Every structure is written in structure tokens, then in C-alpha cells.
């Protein structure tokens, strides 16, 4: 994620007229965070382009993004913790720069983590050394670590690590045993997490146009 500046008055006006039945809060206008139908949601954009993010029934959300710089959002829990997560839905952004990932943060240390289920035309591990592999729900994930220097974070502009599991065979729908990933990150890469902050089943777009409809629940 990148920064918290956003022209959200303009977007709010557009979104409200598109569907006057839902309130701003229900539609997750932001950048912002909140609780919807018992799920935490977080929605963030660096402000370039437009994002029409809508919270739906249960743990679902639906989003369309157009010519964004960078945006990421979805539903899940806050705080996160090791748990089995299931999700389904539609994500069809294979030709553009986008991720579908179980995504979250910890503090002390400040870490941004991704369990990537599908990605588009950019593999987030490109050029990075593989630290190991994890088997989960019938698939193999590769482990990576990257470093972000003076980048936006949940604690403002900071320098922090990103931990990654990237599924070798992309998929949309299944279960993720996050405990396995957290344990193997530590065991195979000495990648340690801190105190739990939020954890969401996220869609992310980078310099792209795309859409998704995702539902998440505790498996
Ligand atoms: C997920 O599956 C349930 C049960 O089949 C279905 O009702 C729901 O619409 C699906 N969610 C999405 C986002 O496709």
C-alpha cells in the first residue's frame, strides 16, 4: 500500500448516485476501515484513478477499479490470528497487474504479509530469492521476503519487511491454513511475525483496471 491521500468527496458522490439504497458506511467509502456484517473491512487507495468498493452479504465484497495507481481492500478480521480461512468468488485479472491474497499486518516487528492465491501479469516474487515451500490445501506455495524502505504502512511511512507465500498454481477459491504459513515462514526463512493487526482476503490492483467479487469466512 502506498499513501493515505484521496479525493474521496468526488468518489462518494459518484458511488452514492450509483446506488442510493446503501449508506456510505455500508459501501465502504474510504480510504477507510470498519465492521460490516460481523467482518472487519479495510479499503485503501493511493488516490489515483477510481475504485468502487462495496461490502456485500456476510463476508463478501465486490469491487471495480479503473486506472488506479495502487489500491488494496477486502474483508476479514481485526485482529488477525492463525486460523483456517475459506473463500470463494470471482477474480479474473490475469492480464493486468493485480493480486488476490490473504493479506495482513503485524507490529513489533512491523510486517506486511501476503498469501497469494492468484496474480495477474506481474509475479510479486520476480527477482527475489526463494526461501522454501509450503504445501497447503493441495497446492505448493513458494516463500519469499522483500523489504520496503520508507513506504506507507499502518504506522505511517516506515521501513519494513513483506513476507510472501505465492501459490505456484493460481486459483480462486479454497481454504488457507494460515498457521502453516506462519510456522513455515519462521522455520524455513526465520521470518518472524509480531502482534496481530488486521487480516483480510484482499484484492489489490497496481496501475491497472480490474474487478473482483470475493466472499471470505472462517473454515
Ligand atoms: C460463495 O459460495 C456461496 C455458496 O455456494 C454462494 O452463496 C456465494 O454467492 C459465493 N460467493 C461468491 C462471492 O461467489
Position of cell 487480516? 199
Q: Is the CB of residue 172 below 6 angstroms from any atom belonging to ligand 1? A: no
Query: Which domain CATH number covers 211?
Result: 2.60.120.180
Comparing CA positions, the residue from 73, 130, 125 lying closest to residue 104 is 73
| Element holding 89 (H helix, E strand) | strand 84-91
Closest C-alpha to 194, from 108, 128, 134, 113: 108
Question: Containing H/E element for 189?
Answer: helix 178-189
Cell matching residue 55? 461490502
Domain of residue 117, residue span: 2-218
pLDDT in tens, 183-201: 999 999 999 999 999 999 9
Using an 8 Å Cβ cutoff, are 98 and 120 in contact?
A: yes
At residue 115, the pLDDT reads: 98
In the predicted structure, residue 15 carries a pLDDT above the cut 60: no
Give nearest CA residue, ligand 1 atom 13.
89
192: CA distance to ligand 1 center in Å?
A: 34
Number of domains in the chain: 1
Peptide linkage before 79 cis (omega within 30 of 0) = yes
Q: Which of 101, 78, 66, 50 is nearest to 204 (CA)?
A: 101
In the predicted structure, residue 101 carries a pLDDT above the cut 90: yes
Q: Report pLDDT digits (tens) over 16-51.
A: 333 332 333 333 344 688 999 999 999 888 888 889
C-alpha cell of 99? Answer: 493480486
**Catalytic residue chosen out of the listed positions 112, 117, 184, 215:** 112
Question: Is residue 75 very low, low, confident or very high in pLDDT (cuts 50, 70, 90)?
Answer: very high
Whole-number pLDDT of residue 31 = 60
Report CA 152 to chain centroid distance, whole Å. 15
What is the position in ligand 1's atom list of the atom closest to the CA of 56?
A: 13
Residues composing the chain = 219
The tens digit of pLDDT for each residue in 136-183 reads 999 999 999 999 999 888 998 999 999 999 999 999 999 999 999 999
Please give the pLDDT value at position 143.
98
Counting ligand 1 atoms within 8 A of each CB, the residue from 58, 89, 217 with the most, and so the one to mutate, is 89
Angle 80-94-111 from CA coordinates, rounded to 5°: 25
The residue among 10 and 168 whose pLDDT is bigger is 168
pLDDT at 48: 86
Any catalytic annotation for residue 117?
no
Amino acid at each position: 500500500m502506498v499513501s493515505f491521500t484521496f479525493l474521496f468527496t468526488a468518489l462518494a458522490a459518484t458511488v452514492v448516485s450509483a446506488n442510493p439504497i446503501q449508506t456510505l458506511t455500508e459501501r465502504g467509502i474510504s480510504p477507510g476501515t470498519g465492521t460490516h456484517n460481523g467482518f472487519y473491512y479495510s479499503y485503501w487507495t493511493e488516490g489515483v484513478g477510481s475504485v468502487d468498493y462495496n461490502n456485500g452479504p456476510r463476508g463478501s465484497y465486490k469491487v471495480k477499479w479503473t486506472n488506479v495507481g495502487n489500491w488494496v481492500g477486502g474483508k476479514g478480521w481485526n485482529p488477525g490470528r492463525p486460523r483456517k480461512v475459506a473463500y470463494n468468488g470471482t477474480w479474473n485479472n490475469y492480464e493486468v497487474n493485480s493480486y488476490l491474497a490473504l493479506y495482513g499486518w503485524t507490529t513489533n516487528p512491523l510486517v506486511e504479509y501476503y498469501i497469494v492465491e492468484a496474480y495477474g501479469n506481474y509475479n510479486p516474487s520476480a527477482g527475489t530469492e526463494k526461501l522454501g515451500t509450503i504445501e497447503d490445501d493441495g497446492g505448493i506455495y513458494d516463500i519469499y521476503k522483500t523489504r520496503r524502505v520508507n513506504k506507507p504502512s499502518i504506522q505511517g511511512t516506515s521501513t519494513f519487511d513483506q513476507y510472501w507465500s505465492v501459490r505456484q498454481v493460481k486459483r480462486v477459491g479454497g481454504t488457507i491454513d494460515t498457521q502453516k504459513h506462519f510456522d513455515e515462514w519462521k522455520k524455513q526463512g526465520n521470518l518472524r511475525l509480531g502482534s496481530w493487526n488486521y487480516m483480510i482476503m484482499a484484492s489489490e490492483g497496481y496501475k491497472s483496471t480490474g474487478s473482483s467479487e470475493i466472499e471470505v469466512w472462517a473454515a
